[in-house]
Amino acid sequence: MRLRCAVVDDYQGVATSVVDWSGLAGDLDVMSFGKHFADEDALVGALADFDIVVTLRERVAFPGSVLSRLPRLRLLVASGMRNSVIDYAAAEAHGVTVCGTASSPTPPVELTWALLLGLARGIVTENAALRSGGPWQSTLGADLHGQRLGLLGLGKIGGRVAQVGLAFGMRVSAWSRNLTQERADEVGVERAGSKEELLRTSDFVSLHLVLSERTRRMLGAAELTLLKPTAYLVNTSRAGLVDQEALLTTLREGRIAGAAIDVFDSEPLPAGHPMRSAPRLLATPHLGYVSRANYERFYGQAVEDIRAYLAGEPIRVLGPA
């Protein structure tokens, strides 16, 4: 019997066209799902007859309650080599092999700067006015040169964001609990003495941290009050790093100049969600890793993972950290 492979949350409908799946044509049938499943019942109902599932990043959760209801599932391929919404112990218990793929830090770095520049120069506001016959110039752009960029996190992505900031002539500082002076010196940035110092002194703050119990809601109401009224906040990392209600209150009360957000507590963002209409907010639908080159990497290596699994030699196997 031929195997069946499902690709879930293929929003752009490109999973089977950006790379060549023909090498697997003799072994399995591939079906792509373009709409997000609203709940576990809908997900299980759609995937019940599939042996292999390919999921993109952390769009779809696979807890034990889902895996236990998919007795036919044998291989789960997730893009990236880290995934916080897969229950690896449950996967092992139910005989499901989990594999990952490589992921490039370049797309989220580029999106971070697209959002930061969009905020600083009022790009969306000015473009909307120009296209609708509105006022000719209504915003006063914020300069980057000479201003301080504060980075919460200086890993692969944060380090590259820092380099761009330095190229703009910005003063760049960074902080995280594990940041060493050696790492700060390596990137060429200042090491802030504390999170609070970084928030108080930065003109632009950008988050680049892994979400964990230590970092969850690390920016709450108290921390957001430390930001300058002229400051901008950018989050292309994880929604859980920022208290969403506190951020909404901060924006509504005009206590910072603006924010740019690419990640949300609930995705896709429900219609009517306050994040869709908040003032001073530039929001994008989690585009951080969405680029042609990254999709080619994700799905190309997913094909490799499937081929290796079918050959009895799984590669890039994931498990508990």
Q: Is 94 a catalytic residue?
A: no
| Region for residue 107 given its phi and psi (left: phi exceeds 0; alpha: psi -120 to 50; beta: otherwise) | alpha
The number of angstroms, rounded, from the C-alpha of 155 to the middle of its chain's C-alpha atoms is 15
Q: Active site includes 110?
A: no
Sign of CA dihedral 210, 215, 216, 219: negative
Catalytic residue among 57, 208, 286, 297, which?
286
Q: Tokens representing 157?
A: 């992505």
| 3-state SS assignment for residue 233 | strand
* Residue pointed to by tokens 């576990």: 40
Catalytic residue among 59, 191, 208, 238: 238
Tell me the C-alpha distance between 48 and 283, whole Å. Answer: 35
Active site residue 216: no
State the residue for tokens 């120069």: 121
CB neighbours of 80 closer than 8 A, spacing ≥ 6? 57, 100, 101, 102, 103, 289, 298
Q: Tell me what percent of the chain is helix, strand and coil, each rounded to the nearest 5.
A: 35, 15, 50
Q: How far apart are CA 52 and CA 78, in angstroms?
A: 11
Planar angle of CA 156, 152, 284, nearest 5 degrees: 80
Catalytic residue among 92, 197, 267, 304: 267
Question: If you ran DSSP here, which 8-state letter would residue 316 be given?
Answer: S
Q: Provide φ and ψ at 214, rounded to 5°.
A: -75, -30
29 CB-near residues (< 8 Å, 6+ apart): 2, 3, 4, 5
Rounded CA-CA distance 248/270 in Å is: 16
How far, in Å, CA of 122 to CA of 265, rounded?
A: 26
Any idea which residues carry the catalytic annotation? 238, 267, 286
